[in-house]
């Protein structure tokens, strides 16, 4: 794996010359599929989510079935906005690594697809 990472440009050039440019896309798709399948069995590692699951599981064990429907309500619009909009913006502002990686990724995509 280190060999491929170290010489990926030469490997990509060889692949284009030997098989055609479409194989670079096929190789990417195959690698993404392998990584996705290998990550399906992984457990959650984010502490807040683990604790939330534990609380729900503990409540479900103690409550009757009629009361269990109250716990599985959908989150409000504000809660969804907090999780999906405000948290990433907060991370962009407070975490320099996230900010620099976002800038780098934006520049890389802009250069790649801008020409």
Best CA proximity match to 84, nearest among 93, 95, 75: 75
Best CA proximity match to 89, nearest among 106, 74, 102: 102
The pLDDT confidence band at residue 100, using thresholds 50, 70 and 90, is very high
Per-residue pLDDT for 85 more than 70? yes
Q: Are 54 and 62 in contact (CB under 8 A)?
A: no
3-state helix, strand, coil in the chain (%, to 5): 85, 0, 15
Q: Give Cα 74 to chain centroid, integer Å.
A: 22
Stretch 78-101: mean pLDDT: 87
Q: Which residue has the higher pLDDT, 75 or 85?
A: 85
Q: pLDDT digits over 31-70, tens only?
A: 999 999 988 888 878 888 888 888 888 877 766 555 545 5
Is pTM beyond 0.75? Reply is: no
The pLDDT confidence band at residue 72, using thresholds 50, 70 and 90, is low
Q: Are 44 and 50 in contact (CB under 8 A)?
A: yes
Best CA proximity match to 13, nearest among 1, 24, 29: 24
């Amino acid at each position: 794996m280190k060999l491929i990472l170290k010489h990926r440009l030469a490997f990509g050039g060889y692949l284009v010359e030997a098989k055609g440019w479409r194989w670079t896309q096929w190789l990417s798709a195959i690698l993404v599929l392998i990584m996705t399948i290998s990550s399906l069995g992984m457990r959650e590692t984010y502490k807040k989510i683990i604790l939330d699951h534990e609380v729900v599981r503990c409540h479900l064990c103690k409550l009757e079935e009629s009361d269990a429907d109250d716990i599985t309500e959908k989150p409000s619009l504000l809660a969804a906005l907090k999780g999906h909009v405000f948290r990433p913006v907060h991370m962009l502002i407070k975490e320099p690594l996230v900010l620099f990686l976002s800038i780098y990724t934006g520049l890389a995509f802009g250069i790649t697809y801008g020409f």
